[in-house]
Amino acid sequence: MVSAKKVLLAAPRGYCAGVDRAVVTVEKSLELYGSPVYVRKQIVHNKYVVSALEDRGAIFVDELEEVPEGSIVVFSAHGVAPAVHDEAEERGLRTIDATCPLVTKVHAEARRFASEGYRIVLVGHEGHEEVVGTMGEAPEVMTLVEDPADAAQVNLSADDKLVWLSQTTLSVDETLSTVDVLQERFPNMISPPSDDICYATQNRQAAVKEIAPQCDVVVVVGSGNSSNSVRLVEVALEAGARASYRVDFAEELDDAWFEDAETIGVTSGASVPEILVDDVLAWLRLRDFKTVEEVHTAEETLIFALPPELRRDIKAAAK
């Protein structure tokens, strides 16, 4: 009897252009300048990636005061507030900014709307590094709203010029439901000129929505501090999966999760290297989930250039 067990493998999944750029920035910095290269915060939210870069000589720190004066420091893909740039300059640090260009766009929008007299409502999760960096662009005119319940209670003046911006890695549905509540309460609030939810976040969520209704269980590979990975679990459940679990590594999988399951969905967050997905597929293969069907919902061709300060030094070293 042929086994009915199969895996639906979501595509796209894994590394987005901003994550790839950030990881390569640290790798190239280590090659060019030698170890140590300091990195403020996790370059991307993934345990495996951070550990691999540490093995190559990167030193991750929480704050710049931990970095010796005159050292090279890379800013993570999530972006930093202007005050961090100022502190780095004061301490004589050589900075390489690996902020994702899509996050940089939101920072630019925050500065522009603030200069035009708007009060900015930022939809995002308190404490997330991207949110901290974005709010640092205009803290005096920015209000953080986390969810629809928060939006229903936030104290804003209807007389203010209002605009909303968002953290790039949120669930699309989550953001829009929050914005709907805000716009019902504040009809004069305008939207940003372009969608701030990152293309990769949207594509990965769309792929999960496609496979989840057919799946008994959806496995999301990604770290617990990765906002977009955590959202993928929620999206899978909302889209009809019977169960969904997030793991960093294949060894975290539990046989009990897959009892009586015939179709397993597999995807990964935007900061996850493909080797971790391969390990999950190998684990499932040993349990008779040998048929893998890749379900494509979008093609991604976007590539971001390395930070200009790094490109300059690579070019100079090649002469």
Catalytic residues: 130
What tokens does 216 get? 């008994």
Residue 13 and residue 278 in contact, taking contact as beta carbons nearer than 8 Å: no
Spatial separation of the C-alpha atoms in residues 125 and 166, rounded to whole Å:
10
Which residue has tokens 């009586």? 260
One-letter amino acid at 103 equals V
Spatial separation of the C-alpha atoms in residues 169 and 180, rounded to whole Å:
18
- Helix axis angle for 47-56 and 17-33, nearest 10°, is 10
- Which DSSP string corresponds to 199-218? HHHHHHHHHHHHHGGG-SEE
Spatial separation of the C-alpha atoms in residues 136 and 81, rounded to whole Å:
5
DSSP state of 47: H
The CA–CA distances, whole Å, from 115 to 73, 109, 120 equal 30, 10, 11
Spatial separation of the C-alpha atoms in residues 309 and 307, rounded to whole Å:
6
Which residue has tokens 């404490």? 127
Spatial separation of the C-alpha atoms in residues 145 and 161, rounded to whole Å:
17
3-state secondary structure of 99: coil
The CA–CA distances, whole Å, from 73 to 25, 34, 130, 232, 280 equal 11, 12, 18, 31, 34
Residue 45 and residue 268 in contact, taking contact as beta carbons nearer than 8 Å: no
Cis peptide before 36 (omega within 30 of 0): yes
